[in-house]
Amino acid sequence: MRASGASVLGEEQDPWSRRPKSPRPLRWTGRPMSRRAGIAVLAALAVTAAAGIVAIAAAVLGPANRAAYAGSAPPTGEQLPVFELPDSNGATVRSGELGRKVVIVTFLDTQCRDACPLIAAALARGLDRLRPEERGDVVALGISVDPTGDDQESVRAFLARHRAEARLRYLVAEEAVLRPVWDEFGVASSLDSGADNLHSAPVRIYDRQGTWVTTLRAGVDLTPDAVAHDVRLALGA
């Protein structure tokens, strides 16, 4: 999927040093959404809304000794879903082989000009704030939500533009492979919405035991400092 028009960020290398003056409107591809796609998007949005309600309840009613994560509290006891996906370099990433590492998972579209550039830059800068021994125990994954537009060339350019090479592994595959993964995570894809900017884009952090411990969101609480802070708490969990 290709979005027309200039990027909100242009050739800017780090959106944390300069923010867009005003939000850009969503750019639709013109492709009509099928009934099946509409149902999928609505279902994913419903799951997201339910997760938000549960997160609020967990924050209010949860144990008083919960670590003070910068992000919002997820549903209690949720584990990292099982998946196996190739990254943009052809190497396979298997959730079961990540060991006792902290895992960051987000959902990206290389043509997105809204949340995705902020997410990639915040994750890269946040990981840069970690000490080398901490960084070695963290894996950051971006899962494609647009298999028709994301390819090796566009992923390489996206990561370079936001200085996220060697920090963020971008996982991309065919729709038939990605769709079960989207379903497991309960996210809506830009492939289904028909717009590169319109998709789920949470940044979820899982601790060494594979437990989902916090969620950061672009435009709400996602900053490089918040990433470093929450990753350090997850490392010690």
Distance, in Å, from the CA atom of 34 to the CA atom of 24, rounded to the nearest integer, reads 25
DSSP class per residue in 122-149: HHHHHHHTS-HHHHTTEEEEEEES-TTT
Distance from chain centroid for Cα 84: 17
pLDDT in tens, 1-41: 544 333 333 334 455 554 444 444 444 444 455 555 554 54
pLDDT in tens, 180-192: 999 999 999 999 9
The domain defined by 35-236 folds into: Glutaredoxin (3.40.30)
What type of residue is 10? G
pLDDT in tens, 214-227: 999 999 999 999 99
- Structure pTM? 0.75
CA angle (114, 175, 172) in 5-degree steps: 60
Distance from chain centroid for Cα 223: 13
pLDDT in tens, 87-139: 999 999 999 999 899 999 999 999 999 999 999 999 999 999 999 999 999 99
Q: What is the pLDDT of residue 38?
A: 55
Distance from chain centroid for Cα 79: 16
For residues 208-222, b (16+ Cβ closer than 10 Å) or e, as one string? bebbbbbbbbbeebb
Both tokens of 154, joined, read 């566009």
pLDDT in tens, 149-179: 999 999 999 999 999 999 999 999 999 999 9
What count of Cα atoms within 13 Å lies in the side-chain half-sphere of residue 180? 7
Which of 142, 186, 165, 212 lies closest to 41 in space, CA to CA? 186
Distance, in Å, from the CA atom of 200 to the CA atom of 46, rounded to the nearest integer, reads 11
| Domain boundaries along the sequence of the chain | 35-236
pLDDT band of 199, cuts 50, 70, 90: very high
